[in-house]
Amino acid sequence: MNRDRERAVRAGARPGHAGIRLAVALLAGAWLWVSGTTPAGAIAPPSPGIAPAPAPRAPVVTLDPLQSGIGERVEYTLTVTQGPTDPDDVCEIELELAPGFTDVRGGPAPSGWDLSIRGRKLTWEARARSCLPPGATLILTFTAQSRQGQGAPGYYQHEWRLSTSSGFEIPGYFNFLIGGIVPPPEEPEAADLDLQLVPLAAVVSPGGTFSYLATIANRNWERASDVLMAVSLVPAGLTYLGWHGDEEIAQADDSPPAFAVASLAPGATKMVTLDFAVAADPSAVASPVVLMMTASGATAEG
């Protein structure tokens, strides 16, 4: 799929719905021990072996300043802060400035990082063993100029993307004001969704298959639109085979799996079952087994 669609699915939104991409997502997960591999002294979860997974925290990305005059050259500071419980190192940082920005120049790259600039896109890439670990902060600087005759004052969008050590991409954007003062674009209100993820067996058997049942519910008094359920983490040793579920559900992506529901009435629920093949070698299967999914959507009138 193309880059725009990939960014939207990984962020938990459908392409063309920028405001939804940053909606707070509900997380569901399931912990299960691989049969025969429970560590000595481990406390197994209560029957049938289900416990909530901890919610991962995305890095905090900020840009300062967030406005300039028309034709003004400004020095910017991009800061990436990893929370102490973030699951992955950040190994690449990409920032693409909005159309109309020219003469982009980078400041000194931090030790262990390389900076490349192609037009409006800046890419900072970590050398070996120099990725940004949990709990650390990286400060990057650059300068850019907005063109004279840019047009009426207004907001423009800078897009950023982080790549982690495990291959995940985390996208986002900044609303940047050029010229006078105008109200920021209105963000769609996030839907109140409840996502439940339940394993359909008490143990994972190497060499077999394993399934999860995902149930999405609209807890709001208003209809939810553009609902997306996306797998954010597939545990090691599990390979996605396919799915089946309610007719209103459509698969939006298969790597990682993501499922779309165009509309969800107040109080309504939809279900989808995800099937996985389990590696024959028990040592290749994560223990405990943790599958994570996120859900996002927007409220809609009517």
Reported as a single tens digit per residue, the pLDDT across 43-90 is 433 333 333 444 445 688 999 998 888 888 899 999 999 877 667 889
- Please state the pTM of the whole predicted model: 0.46
Q: Is the pLDDT of residue 177 over 80?
A: yes
* Rounded average pLDDT over 243-265: 90
Residues 228 and 15 sit within 8 Å (Cβ to Cβ): no
Sheet containing strand 238-245, strands side by side: 193-199, 209-218, 269-278, 238-245
Q: Are 103 and 179 in contact (CB under 8 A)?
A: no
Stretch 196-223: mean pLDDT: 91
* Averaged pLDDT, 264-277: 93
Number of neighbours of residue 302 by Cβ within 10 angstroms: 6
- Rounded CA gap, 64 and 137, in Å? 15
CATH number of 70-178: 2.60.40.2230
Q: What residue spans define the domains of the chain?
A: 3-56+189-300, 70-178
pLDDT band of residue 40 (cuts 50, 70, 90) is: very low
| Cβ contacts of 110 within 8 Å, gap of 6 or more | 124, 138, 139, 140
CA 67 to chain centroid, in Å, comes to 26
pLDDT score at 84: 74
User: Does the pLDDT of residue 210 top 80, yes or no?
Assistant: yes
Q: How confident is the model at residue 227 (pLDDT cuts 50, 70, 90)?
A: very high
* pLDDT score for 202: 83
Query: Which tens digits make up the pLDDT trace of 126-154?
Result: 998 889 998 899 999 999 988 765 555 77
**pLDDT confidence tier of residue 99, bands split at 50, 70 and 90:** confident
How many other CB atoms are found less than 10 A from the CB of residue 140?
21
- Into which CATH architecture does domain 3-56+189-300 fall? Sandwich (2.60)
